[in-house]
Amino acid sequence: MPTPSLAIPTIGVFDSGVGGLTVLRALLDRIPDANYLYFGDTARLPYGSKSAATVAHYAVGAVRYLQEQGAELLVIACNTATALAFDEIRRAAEVEAIGVIEPGAEAAARVSKNRKVVVIGTEATVSSHAYRHALEARKIAVREKACPLFVPLVEEGWVEHPVTEQVARIYLSEAFSNEAYDTDVLLLGCTHYPLIKPLLRQVTPRHVAIVDSAESTAQEVARRLECLTTGRMEPPLAGATRAGSVPHLRFFATDSAEKFRAMGTRFLGLSVEDVLHVDLKE
C-alpha cells in the first residue's frame, strides 16, 4: 500500500456530513503542516438509518473520490462508517485508512484506572457495538448509551442551551447509574459531541475523565506520520509548522455548498471557503 511520499502530506477526511469537521479541527491543531481534503456526504445523511451495505457503498465511493483528488492518507471521521464499513473501506483504499473507533478506544483504555468506560453515541453507533468490542478487547468493562437528541441540538446551534443541558443531565444520569457509578471515563463516540464538551464536563461526575475520539484520532494520525517521516530520516511533521505556512483546505459536499459553508464554519471554528459540490453517481 502506498505511503505519503512527501514531508507535507495530503490528508483526506471523510464523514457523512459536517460532524467530521471536529476531527479535521483536531487534525489542524495537531498537524498544522499538512494539506487537507474534506468530503461531507451531506446529500445522503444520516448514515445511521442505512444498511451496512449501503453505508459501505457510499463510503467507498467517497474515499475513492478523495484518492482521485490526491489524498495520500485517509481519515474516516464518520463513526457509523467506521463501525459498519471499515473493512470494506480498507480493502477499497489504495492508501492507509484510519478510523475513529480504535484510537478512541485505545485512549479511553489508557486513561481508565478502574477499567470501566461509558460510551455515548448515536443509535447506529451504539447498536453496532463497535466501541464495546474495541474496549472489551482491551479488558475494559463498557456501558453504552445512545444519545439521539444531541446531534439535532448541536446542529441547531444549541451548544450552551438550557434544553441541551437538561437533556445531557438525563442521558448521563442514566449512563452512570447503578453499577456504573465508579466508571472513570466518558468516551465521546460521535463527532458532533466535541462541540458540547464544556457542557458535558459540567454534568459529568467530577471523577470522570472525558475522552474525545476526534482528538484521539488526530493523535494517532500524527503518530503514524511521525513514524513515516522518522523512518525516512525527515523531520517529524506532527506539531511542527513552516514559518508563515497555512494549510491548504479543500471541501467537497454532495448537497448545497452554501449550506455546508454556513454550518461547517461553526463546526470547524474557521471560515469554510473552498467548497465544491460533488455529484457522486449511484
Q: Which residues of the chain have pLDDT under 50?
A: 233-244
Residue 222 CA to residue 279 CA, distance in Å, equals: 31
Asked whether residue 233 falls in the same domain as residue 95, the answer is yes
Do you know the residue count of the chain? 282
Note the pLDDT tens digit of each residue in 207-237. Answer: 999 999 999 999 999 999 988 766 554 444 4
- In a domain, residue 208? The reply is yes
Task: Residue 248: give its domain's CATH number.
Answer: 3.40.50.1860
Asked whether residue 145 falls in the same domain as residue 202, the answer is yes
Lookup: cell for 100 = 475513529
Quick one: pLDDT at residue 246? 60
Quick one: pLDDT at residue 1? 61
Catalytic center residues:
78, 190
Note the pLDDT tens digit of each residue in 181-205. Answer: 899 999 999 999 999 999 999 999 9
- Tell which phi-psi region holds residue 146, choosing left (phi > 0), alpha (psi between -120 and 50) or beta: beta
Asked whether residue 171 falls in the same domain as residue 228, the answer is no
Contact 104, 221 (CB under 8 A): no
**Domain of 52?**
10-99+215-277
Quick one: pLDDT at residue 37? 98
**Which of 163, 197, 213 is where one domain is finished?**
213
Quick one: pLDDT at residue 228? 74
Q: How many domains does the chain have?
A: 2
Asked whether residue 201 falls in the same domain as residue 141, the answer is yes
Asked whether residue 172 falls in the same domain as residue 233, the answer is no
What is the secondary structure of 60-129 as a DSSP string? Answer: HHHHHHHHHTT-SEEEE--HHHHHHHHHHHHHH-SSEEEESHHHHHHHHHHH-SSSEEEEEE-HHHHHHT
Lookup: cell for 52 = 451496512
Residue 14 CA to residue 30 CA, distance in Å, equals: 18
Asked whether residue 40 falls in the same domain as residue 137, the answer is no
Quick one: pLDDT at residue 259? 94
- In a domain, residue 1? The reply is no
**Which of 213, 240, 258 is where one domain is finished?**
213
